[in-house]
Amino acid sequence: MIEFINFYLIPGLVLGCMYALGAIGISMLFGILRFAHFAHGDVITLGAYFALLFVTTLGFPVLLALPVAMVLTAIVSIGLDRAFYKPFRNSPTIYLVIASFGVALMVRSLVQLAWGVKVESYAAGTFSKPIIFFDTLRIADKHMWIAGLTIVVVVALHYFLSRSKLGKAMRAMADEPDLAQVSGIPTEKVVRATWIIGGGLAATAGVFLGMDSQLHTNMGWDLLLPIFAAAILGGIGSPYGAIAGGLVIGMAEELSSYPWIGDAPLLSPGYKTGVAFALMVALLIWRPSGLFRGRTFT
């Protein structure tokens, strides 16, 4: 049982936290702007490398570099919207989708140009011993930070969406954009806030992924399909659904390789992504709107 917790349950929760943070941005952008942002994965990569810049050049601890990376990524996200998405705001959705693929390639190329293509690390050559509880439960301190800060971010986001005037305007625009516009809600301000939140959370997901493993220029692209699966599973357009979907997908990926029957893994770790998508498809057949009743289109 303790092996299950140490090597499957805890890694699944940590992976789910990273998926959730990325999926929130995907879901909010879809809810407000009505298009799938396929460049979101490379924005995650950019945020991770912004933090690496301050870690390697200024000697910042990675957690201290995280807020700076969030701010820089949010600024870049606003710039990408102004340069590449705003001109197509009233165009067919497919224009925005194709534009996002182009933005993904540009952002990835800029990261490769600035930092190269070799694998990087926030703490190269160091090893962190896990913290031991009750003589058997082992938790890495980085996993505690990832889980703890994810909870803080989620609580802050909930407070913002439910209590602040801008948060309520964002929810209104996501529900009924035309009605929100005629009722005097500043739509451009809402769009800008959405990009800021999406960019900041993308940077957080990227930094956490870099803390948990290593940095490479395709890390965000590799994360893109699972976070889309998480957003759809939770209910596209619902930030709370994205959180639930991320946790479910992360847990499903890790637990699928646990030896539930016999001593061998139930499924090879190479099938993790397939398991996540199978779970998503099965649930959507039963509940097309997702766990939290997101948007459906007919």
Residue 58 lies in a domain: yes
User: What count of other Cβ atoms lies within 10 Å of the Cβ of residue 164?
Assistant: 12
Residue 138: its H or E element? strand 137-139
Residue 272 lies in a domain: yes
Residue 233 lies in a domain: yes
Q: Give the pLDDT confidence of 27-84 residue by residue, as tens digits.
A: 999 988 888 999 999 999 999 999 999 999 988 999 999 999 999 999 999 999 999 9
Quote the CA–CA distance of 106 and 123 in Å, as a whole number.
Answer: 28
Residue 125 lies in a domain: no
Residue 165 lies in a domain: yes
Q: Give the pLDDT confidence of 137-195 residue by residue, as tens digits.
A: 778 889 999 999 999 999 999 999 999 999 888 888 877 766 777 777 888 899 999 99
Q: Residue 161 sits in which domain range?
A: 2-116+137-286
Residue 257 lies in a domain: yes
How many structural domains compose the chain? 1
Q: What is the CATH number of the domain that holds 191?
A: 1.10.3470
Residue 292 lies in a domain: no
Q: Give the pLDDT confidence of 184-227 residue by residue, as tens digits.
A: 788 889 999 999 999 999 999 999 999 998 999 999 999 998 99
Question: 10-33 vs 141-163: helix axis angle to the nearest 10?
Answer: 30
Residue 296 lies in a domain: no
pTM higher than 0.75: yes
